[in-house]
Structures are given as structure tokens and as C-alpha cells.
Amino acid sequence: MALLKIRKFPDTVLKQPASAVEQIDGRLNGFIDSMVQTMYAAPGVGLAAPQVGDSRRIVVLDTDHDDPGKHLLKLINPQVVEADGSIIWEEGCLSVIDFTADVQRAARVLVRAWTPDEKEIEIEADDLLAVALQHEIDHLDGKLFIDRISRIKRELYRRKITKMIKEGKADGKPPSAVRI
């Protein structure tokens, strides 16, 4: 297991939809374990495979800051099958440096996915877990949370990060808010 490089906006890999995992095997488990290590080291509460340059539909999540690992989720081919209500949450992202924004999402979701031990599961979630699941599944669909904010705010961020990159000031550190 090794730490993986987290891709940063505007890397084009972040805009590409991920492909379904067709076969769950030992190599996949090793990759998922590396994703988990990378997520904790970042630190963040979630990480999707496209964020580390892999085009498969894989997500890892752990929203329990007090007891890391106790509620760790390793999800393969996750999909939201039900969503209702509305919640606004300040989001940050390991792939979107120096920026947070309020994002409107479903307040409650039901997600269906496979685990690395080939079991199909359903997760009912609300609050931070619901937001994190939707955020990470967006990554699998080639979307970033900044795609869910106003065009003006998104363009201002794009210009800011482009300038920072040109000036060599983009240190790659995510913002101090909860990084999903």
C-alpha cells in the first residue's frame, strides 16, 4: 500500500465519468487500501478513485473524526437510488484547493453499492454522510462541487487557481473546512 497522488482542479481526469468495476479481486483491494491511506493522510473524509487518476467507480469514506476506521466505508459502483429533502452544507474538496462553498444537496439518500468482499449493501444516510456520499458519487460522474455553485463563483475560482498555478503559489493544500 502506498499513498496516491491526489489530482487537483483543473486536471481533466476529474471531469471524466468513471467506469463500472466489472470484477472485484485482490488487486482491487490493494488499490482501495491505498485510497484509504491517502484519504486519512490528506486529511479528508472521502476520496473517489478519479481523484487519484483511476477511472473506476470506487469511493472510500469515513465521517467519524473521533474514531477513524470504525465507520470506514469502501464502496464499489455506488449509486444513489433514493434522495429526498434539501440541505445546504459548506463543502471543500481534496481536489479543489483554497476554496469552500455552500452547496445544496439532498438531505437524505439511499445508496446501493458493493463492498470489496462482494456483498451488495444499502446505506441510508443524512447530514454529513449524505453530503459526503453525494459529493463522492459526483466525482464518479465527472463533477466537482464547484459545478454545483453559481457560474460567477465558479469562474472567479477558476481564474484564481489559474493565476496561482502560473505564479507557482498553488501549494495543493485543501481548504480548512471539512474536505470531502
Confidence of residue 171 (pLDDT cuts 50, 70, 90): low
Q: Is 136 a catalytic residue?
A: yes
Mean pLDDT, the chain, rounded, equals 92
C-alpha pair distances (Å), 44 with each of 2, 119, 154: 16, 25, 22
Closest by CA position to 77, among listed 62, 56, 55 = 56
How far apart are alpha carbons 121 and 74 in whole angstroms?
11
Q: Whose grid coordinates read 454522510?
A: 129
Strands annotated E in the chain: 46-48, 58-61, 73-84, 87-93, 96-105, 108-114, 120-126
How far apart are alpha carbons 24 and 29 in whole angstroms?
8
Residue 175: per-residue pLDDT: 47
Point out the catalytic residue in the list 90, 120, 122, 136: 136
Which is it for the CA torsion 76, 77, 83, 89, positive or negative?
positive
State the average pLDDT over residues 79-94.
97
State the average pLDDT over residues 82-96.
97
Is 84 within 8 Å of 107 (Cβ atoms)?
Answer: yes
Q: Which residue has the higher pLDDT, 83 or 173?
A: 83
Residues of the chain above pLDDT 90, percent: 82
Residue 65: per-residue pLDDT: 80
Q: Report if pTM > 0.85.
A: yes
Closest by CA position to 112, among listed 82, 142, 86 = 82
In order of their start, the domains of the chain are 12-166 (3.90.45.10)
